[in-house]
Amino acid sequence: MPAALVTGGGRGIGRAVAIRLARDGFDVAIGYRSDAEAAASAAAEIEAAGAAAVAFGADVADAHAAATLVGSAEEALGPLDAVILNAGITRDGLAVRMSAEDFSAVVDTNLTGAFHVARPALRGMLRRRRGSIVAVSSVVGLTGNVGQANYAAAKAGLIGLVRSLAREAGGRGVRVNAVAPGYVATDMTAVLSDEQRGAILGATPLGRLGEPDDVADACAFLCSAAASFMTGSVLAVDGGLAMGA
């Protein structure tokens, strides 16, 4: 069976992607930073879908830990055919009040961490002349957002990273794309006030928050043969939110 690695795969969007890929026939490695229980639960659901599952704790902001994660995934499941760069954190606040540490922590995990995972994964994919990498960016990376200068900068940076890697790797049959979700019903959006939620829904033509499965479907498509002529693309999964930006 083909093998996939999903970082931040224990909860939210990452969990939905991992389970969807398992249903599509992938064995799946889950990378997680701290919630081992959630990762184990996701692995059990993957196994229930008939695929092999492993979970490894790693802070992708650390280059060595990220490389070890990729190596451990390949040792357990074989060569990686797909990698989903999903690990992310938020530390919101207005830019004039945001500490340097809060800015750096988000960029280090959400952007630099993606590079730390992509680099060792790409080495094997380039040798094998096949593979798909999908980075989970955000509509915020396209539009900006009040109180999220760090998050928006990291998610915008992911788009530049994806498009650069796509140019570097395309000649060897490796595709690199991104999805840009809008507001999705996860732990990160559960803290929104009714006023904030109302404003988001009012600006979203489809009139609802996304579900993790909406993003999982897009990631699965980009990893499939149906997207074989797509690389360097940014697939918006936002209910039309970015159109009004």
**Predicted TM-score of the model (pTM):** 0.95
Q: Is residue 12 part of a domain?
A: yes
Answer whether residue 242 is part of any domain: no
pLDDT band at residue 244 using 50, 70 and 90 as cut-offs: low
pLDDT at 245 over 60: no
* Residue 64 belongs to some domain of the structure: yes
CATH number at residue 53: 3.40.50.720
Instruction: Kindly state whether residue 241 falls inside one of the protein's structural domains.
Output: no
Q: What percent of the chain has pLDDT over 70?
A: 97
DSSP labels, 129-178: T-EEEEEE--THHHH--TTBHHHHHHHHHHHHHHHHHHHHHGGGTEEEEE
With a pLDDT cut of 90, the percent of the chain lying above it is 87
Domain contains 243: no
- Give the list of residues 6+ apart from residue 174 with CB closer than 8 angstroms, or none: 122, 125, 126, 129, 130, 131, 132, 133
- Split at pLDDT 50, 70, 90, the class of 185 is confident
Of 106 and 183, the one with more pLDDT: 106
Check residue 194 and give its pLDDT: 75
Residue 60: domain span: 3-235
Active-site residues, by number, are 151
Is residue 240 in a domain? Answer: no
- The answer to whether residue 44 sits within a structural domain is yes
- What is the pLDDT averaged over residues 171-190? 89
Residue 174 lies in a domain: yes
Beta pairing, strands 131-136 & 27-32:
unpaired
* Count: domains in the chain: 1
